[in-house]
Amino acid sequence: MTVKTMFAKSPVPYLAAFMADFKHAARQRHAFISLPEAGILIWLLLLVAMPVLIFSQLSLADLKQIDVEPRSHLLIEAFCGLTALSIAGMILTVCLKRHDSSMILFGLGFLAMGIFDLLHAWTDPDTQQKAFILYHTLSTLLGSIFILAGVVVRIAAERNHGFSRADLATVVIGLAIAVGVAALYRYSIPSLFPGGAGKFGFSSINHTAHYFAGLFYVLAGIAFYRYFREHHQILALLAFSLLVVFAQSAYLFSLSSMWDLAWWVWHGVKLLFYLGAMLIVFVGFLRALHTIEESRHSLAQANRRLGRSQQTIRQFNRELEIRNRMVQEAMLMLNLDNTLDVVSKAIHQLLGLTSCELTLCMPQDEVDEFDRRARHLSSRWPVRALREESICNSASCHPMLPIKEVFECGYRDESGCNSVCLSLTANGKEVGRLRLRVNHPGMERRNPATLGALAVEVGAIVHNALLYHQWLDANDFRLALLRVSSMLTSTLDLDRVLEAVCKESAALFESDGALVWLPDNNAESFFLAAKWFAHTDQQVSAELEAWCGDSNQCSSLLQGIGGQYHPISILWQDESQTTPFSKPKGCPWEALALFPLLDGENLIGVMVLARNAPVRFSAATLDKGVLLAGQVRIAINNARSYRRLTEFNQQLKLAEENKIRSERMAVMGQMAASVAHE
């Protein structure tokens, strides 16, 4: 909408909307005038009304009095000039680094005012009256031009999107107030000086220059006031008040003549301007010191935070380096013992802990076997199976939130050390727990993230080592089974076969004894066909031999559901195990494993593995034993077949010999008959 079309009908609706928008914007920004703003406005009101109030209270004689004081004038103008030069020096010095165009113009304005004020001060008003008035006029006009130009440059940089209605309303209202004050001065002050006052007047050019200077100062002051309303900077409010004062001084020039009362009044107002400028400089200096102190404090805090951050980064990099080295060394150390050495070294470097214990998760029937096997390992670190009564599995252990892989246990050992357990997981399953002994209470709370990361990485490392050991165990079992098979096939002597079976099976399954019972000729009972003991002087008691020799008892023991035979593990101390018999007298073993030797569906023998310690044979051991029992069955069948073949061959040989003997006897009989006949 253009201005022409906007006012084609009536400007009243537009002005109403304009003022409503201005009020709404003002209400959104500030509902009330701030205390500094109210104080400045009251001070300006008193200062604007001061000339009228002063002049109206004086007598006509006082108003007509002429005070020619060149020295006082020199002091006032010299002070103003030196102050302006000082302000210009400070502003231009700052602009050397900031390169702010508006600040440069402000500095040039004060520089021009300072130079011409000093020239005005040192000019003789009696002999050089024109130069005297010219220097003052140039000081006022050039200062206003440069200051307004600086304001325009700043507005152009910040208001590139255009002016809002609030901006325009502020300018309109400010100019209206300025025009009202000027009209008040023009109407009231000349009437107080009937017939004019003063000896010397000023030309119309000087009056016009001061009118424009006053207008420029008013516009610049309005801009500073608007800036204060938006950004609430107190220095902008002070600058607004001083520019209004200087505009008042410039306008009062047109109502005065040299050395009269109005002359000295506007010089006093000008002096107030520079005193206010000095006050602004002082306040700015204090704010600069405060800002410097805040910056120093902020910089010190930033340096401290940076130092802590660098320390944290160094600590984090050190942890990463230690953990990377742990993973790399663990990849080279596939043995579980060496792997635990690497893990313990990393834990000591990260947390300062020197003692750890590995507890592995496994089926409950394999726990005793693993602990029995672990006692024979050369590991420098305790490796145990996770039991229900284990420290890391007790009810006193609870996860350290939010890290669920770390468990804090209230257990204290004999040395008074706390226990922290790391849950080791791999492929979504828990493979074990690593118990750490904490010497100082609360140490585990200092590095929860490190403990969580260790739990994840150590879990993968231990899982890899366990897979390697399982692979070794599987290879060892295959080699042992191959060796037993080769040994069994190397001879067909049943006694030697059974003796080799007992020795190799006991060593393969970590047993203290091995027995093989075979059925007798009538298949009603079993007899001890072969045996092997870890202690060579150990004997089989008559009760045990009778117990194992009962074929019906063995058959009922080994026969499962549906008439199928299956291996069985017996632990005499396990009261929950249901067996149709009790421990035989004289039986030195606490755990037995019985494997049926089957020929089709017929039970042709029993292989028994025995342990002195109460260590149950696990399901995995029974599965391996079934494979060995199959080889033993084949060896027994081969030996029996060989024995039967040998016996059959022997019978054939005897029959052949008998046949030859019979044939020889027949020939001899024929020969004897022939001789007798002859």
Tens of pLDDT, residue by residue over 480-492, are 888 877 777 777 7
pLDDT at 15: 42
The arithmetic mean of pLDDT across residues 294-314, rounded, is: 92
491-640 fold: Beta-Lactamase (3.30.450)
pLDDT at 301: 92
Give the mean pLDDT of the chain: 76
The arithmetic mean of pLDDT across residues 116-140, rounded, is: 82
In order, the DSSP letters of 391-440 are GGGSTTEEEETTEEEEEEE----TT--EEEEEEEEETTEEEEEEEEEESS
pLDDT at 302: 93
State yes or no: pLDDT of 306 exceeds 90. Answer: yes
**How is residue 236 written in tokens?**
């902008």
State yes or no: pLDDT of 305 exceeds 90. Answer: yes
Helical segments of 333-366, H only: 336-351
Please tell me the least confidently modeled range out of 55-69, 405-419, 513-527, 586-600: 55-69
**How is residue 264 written in tokens?**
């000295």
Residue 664: φ, ψ to 5°: -65, -40
Q: Residue 200 — very low, low, confident or very high, per pLDDT cuts 50/70/90?
A: low
Q: Residue 2 — very low, low, confident or very high, per pLDDT cuts 50/70/90?
A: very low
Q: Residue 235 — very low, low, confident or very high, per pLDDT cuts 50/70/90?
A: confident
Helix (H/G/I), strand (E/B), else coil: 75: helix
The arithmetic mean of pLDDT across residues 551-556, rounded, is: 60
pLDDT in tens, 480-526: 888 877 777 777 777 887 888 888 888 888 888 888 888 777 666 67
State yes or no: pLDDT of 397 exceeds 80. Answer: no
Helix (H/G/I), strand (E/B), else coil: 359: strand
> Measured between alpha carbons, how far apart are the two ends of the chain, in Å?
169
Cα distance between residue 321 and residue 354, in whole Å: 19
pLDDT at 402: 63
Residues of the chain with CATH 3.30.450.40: 333-476, 491-640
pLDDT at 358: 81
State yes or no: pLDDT of 170 exceeds 90. Answer: no
The arithmetic mean of pLDDT across residues 245-273, rounded, is: 72
Q: Residue 356 — very low, low, confident or very high, per pLDDT cuts 50/70/90?
A: confident
State yes or no: pLDDT of 223 exceeds 80. Answer: yes
pLDDT at 18: 45
Top pLDDT among 261 and 18 is at 261
The residue whose two tokens read 């080592």 is 465
Question: What counts of helices (H) and strands (E) characterise the chain?
Answer: 19, 11
What are the CA-CA distances from residue 584 to residues 546, 547, 587, 589 (Å)? 9, 7, 6, 10
In order, the DSSP letters of 617-648 are PPHHHHHHHHHHHHHHHHHHHHHHHHHHHHHH
The arithmetic mean of pLDDT across residues 547-553, rounded, is: 61
* Architecture in CATH of 333-476: 2-Layer Sandwich (3.30)
Q: Is 335 exposed, middle or buried (0-12, 13-18, 19+ CB in 10 A)?
A: middle
Cα distance between residue 593 and residue 621, in whole Å: 9
% pLDDT > 70, the chain: 73
Supply angle C-alpha 284, 287, 289, rounded to 5: 110
The arithmetic mean of pLDDT across residues 362-376, rounded, is: 77
Cα distance between residue 81 and residue 87, in whole Å: 10
The arithmetic mean of pLDDT across residues 333-338, rounded, is: 79
pLDDT at 403: 63
Helical segments of 232-260, H only: 234-253
pLDDT at 462: 85
Top pLDDT among 520 and 56 is at 520
The arithmetic mean of pLDDT across residues 427-453, rounded, is: 74
State yes or no: pLDDT of 303 exceeds 90. Answer: yes
Q: Could you tell me which of 497, 498, 434, 436 has the C-alpha nearest to residue 460?
A: 434
Which bin fits 204, alpha (ψ -120 to 50), beta or left (φ > 0)? alpha
Amino acid at 518: L
pLDDT at 26: 47
- Please provide the size of the chain in residues: 678
Q: Could you tell me which of 481, 520, 484 has the C-alpha nearest to residue 499?
A: 484
**How is residue 655 written in tokens?**
């029959």
The arithmetic mean of pLDDT across residues 314-320, rounded, is: 89
State yes or no: pLDDT of 449 exceeds 80. Answer: no
C-alpha dihedral sign at 352, 357, 358, 362: negative
| Beta strands across the sheet bearing 526-533 | 526-533, 513-519, 602-611, 591-599, 568-571
Count of Cβ atoms closer than 10 Å to residue 481 Cβ: 17
pLDDT at 66: 62
pLDDT at 12: 40
Helix (H/G/I), strand (E/B), else coil: 584: coil
pLDDT at 370: 80
pLDDT at 561: 40
pLDDT in tens, 592-638: 888 888 877 777 888 888 888 888 888 888 888 888 888 888 877 78
State yes or no: pLDDT of 656 exceeds 60. Answer: yes
pLDDT at 110: 85
State yes or no: pLDDT of 103 exceeds 70. Answer: yes
State yes or no: pLDDT of 272 exceeds 80. Answer: no
Q: Residue 71 — very low, low, confident or very high, per pLDDT cuts 50/70/90?
A: confident
**How is residue 189 written in tokens?**
């002050």
Longest CA pairwise span in the chain (Å): 212
The residue whose two tokens read 């006032």 is 76
Q: Residue 11 — very low, low, confident or very high, per pLDDT cuts 50/70/90?
A: very low
pLDDT at 309: 93
pLDDT in tens, 558-585: 654 445 677 888 887 777 766 656 676 6
